[in-house]
Amino acid sequence: LTLNEQLGLSKQKLSTATHLILTLGTAWGYEFKSTGKWVANCHKVPQKEFNKVLSTPREVMESLSGAIKKIQKVNPNIAIYLTISPVRHLKDGFEENQRSKAHLVTAVHHLVQSQPRNTLYYFPAYELMMDELRDYRFYEADMVHPNALAIEYIWEKFRSFCISKDDLGTMQSVAEIQKGLAHKAFNPTSKQHLAFKEALQKKIAGLTKSYPHITF
């Protein structure tokens, strides 16, 4: 797909989505000296051509607010969840990372509080990692990224925070079907495996009848 085709596809999906999760990583950015504009990629231009800038909480809030307004214009009914990545940007430095995360936390909370109820939500992934999982046994060997145990813990918190009991049941059914589809039989022609496949197809048929948009 070309870039324009990807953008068109993204807009199409965004217009029909019910939920959107936006995760903020850092308030640090790079400004191209010759134009004064912020950049997303240096394109191998020497570092001396850029200024490293820490956005203020107000700047983060205004930028995020503008993006959310554009999203809501495309899809007025979408529920938006904001999170802050628990991954520490230690290449910026310990102090710089903390300043950055603090700016993001401040900006996001001000923004959520300024919006009508039930339109914008905040899920505290960053706080869970920093406070409840502050021991290094919850990190990968690089001491930066959360490990599988931490990810599972935060995922369970997210499930209880954002997903209804009915939907949790549907998710469990999908997981069971996916596991069944991934199963590799030792003897594909055995009666047991054929019966297993038949039962699996019945599960798929039952689920897709209730949720036609789900495909396996």
In tens, the pLDDT along 145-174 reads 999 999 999 999 999 888 888 888 899 999
Q: Is residue 123 part of a domain?
A: no
Mean pLDDT of the chain: 93
Task: Give the model's pLDDT for residue 157.
Answer: 95
Task: Give the model's pLDDT for residue 165.
Answer: 84
Distance in angstroms (rounded) separating the CA atoms of residues 132 and 139: 13
Strand locations in the chain, DSSP E? Answer: 19-24, 28-32, 37-39, 50-54, 79-84, 120-122
Residue 117 has pLDDT above 90, yes or no: no
Mean pLDDT of 4-15: 92
Q: Is residue 196 part of a domain?
A: yes
Residue 87 has pLDDT above 90, yes or no: yes
Q: Is residue 182 part of a domain?
A: yes
Task: Give the model's pLDDT for residue 164.
Answer: 86
- pTM (2 decimals)? 0.82
Calculate what percentage of the chain has a pLDDT beyond 70: 100
177, 181, 185, 191: CA torsion to nearest 10: 60
Q: Is residue 10 part of a domain?
A: no
- At residue 93, φ and ψ (nearest 5 deg) are 110, 155
- At residue 127, φ and ψ (nearest 5 deg) are -65, -35
Q: Is residue 157 part of a domain?
A: no
Band of the pLDDT at 37, cuts 50, 70, 90? very high
Distance in angstroms (rounded) separating the CA atoms of residues 64 and 85: 15
Mean pLDDT of 88-98: 93
Give how many domains the chain has, as a whole number: 1
Is 12 buried (19+), middle (13-18) or exposed (0-12) by CB count in 10 A? exposed
Residue 116 has pLDDT above 90, yes or no: no
Band of the pLDDT at 118, cuts 50, 70, 90? confident
Q: Is residue 38 part of a domain?
A: no
Q: Is residue 34 part of a domain?
A: no
Strand locations in 17-143, DSSP E? Answer: 19-24, 28-32, 37-39, 50-54, 79-84, 120-122
Range of the domain at 193: 166-216
> Residues 179-216, buried b or exposed e (16+ Cβ, 10 A)?
ebeeeeeeeeeeeeeeeeeeebeeebeebeeeeeeeee
Q: Is residue 194 part of a domain?
A: yes
Task: Give the model's pLDDT for residue 59.
Answer: 97
Distance in angstroms (rounded) separating the CA atoms of residues 110 and 64: 11
Question: Would you give the distance in Å from CA 66 to the centre of its chain?
Answer: 19
Task: Give the model's pLDDT for residue 196.
Answer: 94
